[in-house]
Amino acid sequence: MEDRVKRIEKALDHFLPERKGSLSETVTDAMRYSLLNGGKRVRAVLTLAFCELCGGDEDMAMPFACAVEMVHAYSLIHDDLPCMDNDDMRRGKPSNHKFYGENYALLAGDGLLTKAFETALSSEAFRNVGMERAAYAAAVLARCAGEHGMVGGQCIDLATENRTVSLDELCEKDTGKTANLIMAACMMGCIAAGANETQINAAKEYALHIGLAFQIRDDILDVTGDAKELGKNIGVDAQNARCTYVSILGVEKAQALVDEHTEKALHALDAFDADSTFLHEFAEKLATRSK
């Protein structure tokens, strides 16, 4: 896992190099500040893992792994803005807008979103998997990141602000906001390797359930976690009167729901003949993570 993350970090640095002396140097620095600011690289790791599970290799999937991390980083920059979640800290450092200002943070997010598709449709991607697979993967990423996916989930979040929401509404919001980008990550790994539609759909199912488990666990950690270990403020949901799985179910039942989604994710891996031990263990670790 650690070696894989190191290779991802190296590839991210390659796809988004510094631009010293350029008039737009500051926005590139702001993009790199958030993109290269650590993180678990969950989505990128899943892209590589599913590619290997379907018979491909890391090189085939790396541009897509980097692309999904760029989209994720852009979403965090914009989520932290005062007009959205208004968070001052991210991964133990000042949020992008706190360090660079709101204007550059906004542009850095825009730049990362655009860079993601430049990377997914790069000459390296075409060389490794061909134009057809690269285009398919980019289309999946676009749909999962846009109004049908992550952006749509954020819209549901805004529409349900300051009111009580049902468990179903919360699930719909988090499917969009969190699970969709994980779906893109897993599906792109399969696409890069030339997997069949059954396998791609199984990867999507796995991603849906670990995505929801990840978000529910995040809600739990906002109540029970340690700010220093998490690298961000805790208690933010309660302060902002947000409805969460914990506020609706309580910690114990919320964790039971994490376990239920994890089991469904593991069941989805039955569609693959190859050894899926890593993905089994990955899902189980997410269900009990402390940061």
For residue range 146-193, list pLDDT tens digits in order: 999 999 999 998 998 888 899 999 999 999 999 999 999 999 999 999
Q: What is the pLDDT of residues 232-244, one digit of tens each?
A: 555 566 556 678 9
Return phi, psi of residue 89, to 5°: -125, 145
Model pTM score:
0.93
**The pLDDT of residue 225:** 63
**The pLDDT of residue 232:** 56
Q: What is the pLDDT of residues 27-67, one digit of tens each?
A: 999 999 999 998 889 999 999 999 999 999 999 999 999 99
> Tokens at residue 139, please?
């289309």
Q: How buried is 231 (Cβ within 10 angstroms: 0-12 exposed, 13-18 middle, 19+ buried)? A: middle
CB count, 10 Å around CB of 249?
18
What is the rounded CA–CA span in Å between residue 190 and residue 103?
37
What is the rounded CA–CA span in Å between residue 143 and residue 160?
23
Residue 85 has pLDDT above 80, yes or no: yes
Return phi, psi of residue 118, to 5°: -60, -40
What is the rounded CA–CA span in Å between residue 14 and residue 7?
11
Fold (CATH) for 2-287: Farnesyl Diphosphate Synthase (1.10.600)
Instruction: Specify the DSSP element, H or E, that contains 195.
Output: none
Query: DSSP readout, 90-144?
Result: ETTEE-HHHHH-HHHHHHHHHHHHHHHHHHHTSHHHHHHH-HHHHHHHHHHHHHH
**The pLDDT of residue 211:** 96
Q: What percent of the chain has pLDDT over 90?
A: 81
Q: State in Å, rounded, how far the first CA of the chain is from the last one.
A: 16
- Nearest alpha-carbon partner for 140 in 89, 97, 193, 182: 182
Residue whose structure tokens are 């696409």: 191
What is the rounded CA–CA span in Å between residue 260 and residue 269?
15
